[in-house]
């Protein structure tokens, strides 16, 4: 049977019950009813059905590139490799002189008052909350549209995460909902700069000032983003960055906390066992063996091996970002006139870091859902991902706080129709063209 005939049959069947309903129980019930009634053309999340209930595909072998395009591999050059080897041949491979250089250069790059290198963004967030003295009985307001680390750290300090929904365009935390969620127990706001687009910080700062709250920014995606002309991380409040393998700057694993020097001095003690001095100060020339434990701290320090990577990655960051922006421009141009696709936005008062390029599918325009769309791209050798599974539908948070998918409808609605396309400075023009052609081919094949 021809694909066009199958599309016509699927449309004629008008099996909107499963695909259009937002209630999962109704969708499942109606899907079963249509199948029992013998309708072979009901549209479901696994794709349209042809005669006899078989899944319709565009062809037995969809057009695809010869090799699989990974979603986000790191971009590592010979300079990084030589710097790491130099560290391995030196007298110091743990936290030492290169870590200090990386902190200083990172702070200078962002015009930040100071920087503390750590072994992850999670460590930076956790350390910041502990340094602020947040603990049991306190509340921290944050977003459901984030990786679980942003919320786990609130649980780690014994506080309660209070989730509020996101804005429908940027998918960043909604400042109006933040203001409405503040109680006598609120101690801090933890905005996440989703995908690299800065959250709307001015109203969040106004709420924080009015209620005497701290702001801890999760900038895992936001290097090097700017908000109203100032780099994220350049203000005095604590801001946490990620150097995970997929990030705009990588140290393999790693993170950085920027803040005022006085805050970082306390955070530095907390981040390394609560000790009054680190190993470099104890063991290097002129150092003293003596130290004291001031608080029961953590083991969150970055090594010089990681910092060696970071030093060169930082020097290449502007070059990396230029390529990311060029890829984004090609994606935007290709998808601008496609009604089945909703492109990411950039508000006029920000500079987007473009860690992610998140497409959102328009339900009424396609016969397949997000999961099938991702599989179709994989069949064409294009790797993708989803950012993120909202916090409130993970079993731990769902069960502990009694959330349902509809508790945060904007986050959930966008989650179920979003996917992230490959975006990294190593993409060639051919790679970008292959992604674009694969996406448009899936849209053409399954247009409703």
Tell me whether residue 247 is one of the annotated catalytic residues.
Answer: yes
Q: What is the pLDDT of residues 281-340, one digit of tens each?
A: 555 666 777 889 999 999 999 999 999 999 999 999 999 999 999 999 999 999 999 999
Of the candidate ranges 15-19, 174-178, 359-363, the one whose mean pLDDT is the lowest: 15-19
The model's pTM: 0.87
Residue 96 corresponds to which tokens in the numbers above? 């030492």
Q: Under a CB-based contact definition with an 8 Å cutoff, are residues 128 and 216 in contact?
A: yes
Using the predicted structure, report yes or no on whether residue 226 has a pLDDT greater than 50: yes
Residue 111 corresponds to which tokens in the numbers above? 């015009």
Mean pLDDT of 126-151: 98
pLDDT of residue 289: 78
Annotated catalytic residue within 130, 247, 299, 316: 247
Using the predicted structure, report yes or no on whether residue 446 has a pLDDT greater than 70: yes
For each of the domains in the chain, give its residue range(s) and CATH number, in order of start.
Answer: 1-56 (no CATH), 78-315 (3.40.640.10), 319-445 (3.90.1150.10)
Q: What is the pLDDT of residues 17-65, one digit of tens each?
A: 333 333 333 333 333 322 323 333 333 344 444 333 445 555 567 888 9
> Tokens 């502007």 sit at which residue?
318
pLDDT of residue 60: 60
Give the percent of the chain with pLDDT over 70: 85
The pLDDT-based confidence of 276 (bands split at 50, 70, 90) is confident
Average pLDDT over the chain, rounded to whole?
89
Q: What is the pLDDT of residues 377-398, one digit of tens each?
A: 999 999 999 999 999 999 999 9
Which of 20-24, 179-183, 273-277 has the largest mean confidence?
A: 179-183
Using the predicted structure, report yes or no on whether residue 125 has a pLDDT greater than 90: yes
Whole-angstrom distance, CA of residue 302 vs CA of residue 100? 10
Give the percent of the chain with pLDDT over 90: 82
pLDDT of residue 4: 43
The three-state DSSP-derived secondary structure of the chain is: CCHHHHHHHHHHHCCHHHHHCCCHHHHHHHHHHHHHCCCCCCCECCECECHHHCECCCCCCCCCCCCCECCCCCCCCHHHHHHHHHHHCCCCCCCCHHHHHHHHHHHHHHCCCCEEEECCHHHHHHHHHHHCCCCCCCEEEECCCCCCHHHHHHHHCCCEEEECCECCCCCCECHHHHHHHCCCCEEEEECECHHHCCCCHHHHHHHHHHHCCEECEECCCCCCCEECCEECCCCCCCEEEECCCCCCCCCCCCEEEECCHHHHHHHHHHHECCECCCHHHHHCCCCCCCCCECCCCCECECCHHHHHHHHHHHHCHHHHHHHHHHHHHHHHHHHCCCCCEECCCCCCCEECCCCCEEEEECHHHECCCHHHHHHHHHHCCECCECCCCCHHHCHHHHHHHCCCHHHCHHHHHHHCCEEEECCCCCCCHHHHHHHHHHHHHHHHHCEC
Mean pLDDT of 104-112: 98
Whole-angstrom distance, CA of residue 48 vs CA of residue 55? 6
Terminal C-alpha separation, the chain? 18
Whole-angstrom distance, CA of residue 182 vs CA of residue 213? 10
Mean pLDDT of 2-30: 37
Using the predicted structure, report yes or no on whether residue 10 has a pLDDT greater than 90: no
Q: What is the pLDDT of residues 141-155, one digit of tens each?
A: 999 999 999 999 999
């Amino acid at each position: 049977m021809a694909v066009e005939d199958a599309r016509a049959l699927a449309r004629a069947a008008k099996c909107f019950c499963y695909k259009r309903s937002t209630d999962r129980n109704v969708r499942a019930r109606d899907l079963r009813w249509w199948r029992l009634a013998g309708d072979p053309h009901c549209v479901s999340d696994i794709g349209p059905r042809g005669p006899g209930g078989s899944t319709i595909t565009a062809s037995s072998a969809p057009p695809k590139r010869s090799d699989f395009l990974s979603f986000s591999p790191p971009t590592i050059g010979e300079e990084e490799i030589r710097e790491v080897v130099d560290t391995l041949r030196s007298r110091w491979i743990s936290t030492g002189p290169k870590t200090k250089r990386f902190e200083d250069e990172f702070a200078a790059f962002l015009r930040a008052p100071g920087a503390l290198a750590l072994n992850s963004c999670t460590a930076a967030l956790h350390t910041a909350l502990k340094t602020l003295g947040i603990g049991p009985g306190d509340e921290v307001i944050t977003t459901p549209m984030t990786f679980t680390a942003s919320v786990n750290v609130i649980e780690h300090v014994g506080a309660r995460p209070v989730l509020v929904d996101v804005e429908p365009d940027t998918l960043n935390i909604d400042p109006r909902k933040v203001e409405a969620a503040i109680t006598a127990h609120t101690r801090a706001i933890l905005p996440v700069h989703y995908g690299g687009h800065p959250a709307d910080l001015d109203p969040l700062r106004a709420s924080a000032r009015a209620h005497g709250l701290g702001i801890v920014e999760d900038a895992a995606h936001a290097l090097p983003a700017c908000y109203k002309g100032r780099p994220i991380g350049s203000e005095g409040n604590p801001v946490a960055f990620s150097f995970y393998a997929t990030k705009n700057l990588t140290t393999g694993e790693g993170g950085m906390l920027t803040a005022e020097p006085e805050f970082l001095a306390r955070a530095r003690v907390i981040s390394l066992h609560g000790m009054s001095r680190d190993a470099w100060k104890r063991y290097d020339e002129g150092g003293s063996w003596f130290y004291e434990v001031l608080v029961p701290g953590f083991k969150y320090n970055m090594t010089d091996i990681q910092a060696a990577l970071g030093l060169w990655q930082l020097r290449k960051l502007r070059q990396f970002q230029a390529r990311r922006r060029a890829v984004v421009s090609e994606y935007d141009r290709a998808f601008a006139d496609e009604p089945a696709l909703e492109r990411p936005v950039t508000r006029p008062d920000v500079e987007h870091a473009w860690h992610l390029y998140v497409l959102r599918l328009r339900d009424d325009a396609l016969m397949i859902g997000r999961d099938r769309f991702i599989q179709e791209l994989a069949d064409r050798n294009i790797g993708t991902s989803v950012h993120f599974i909202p916090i409130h539908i993970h079993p731990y948070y769902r069960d502990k706080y009694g959330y349902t998918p509809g508790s945060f409808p904007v986050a959930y609605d966008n989650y179920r129709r979003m996917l992230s396309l490959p975006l990294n400075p190593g993409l060639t023009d051919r790679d970008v063209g292959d992604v674009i052609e694969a996406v448009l081919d899936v849209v053409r094949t399954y247009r409703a």
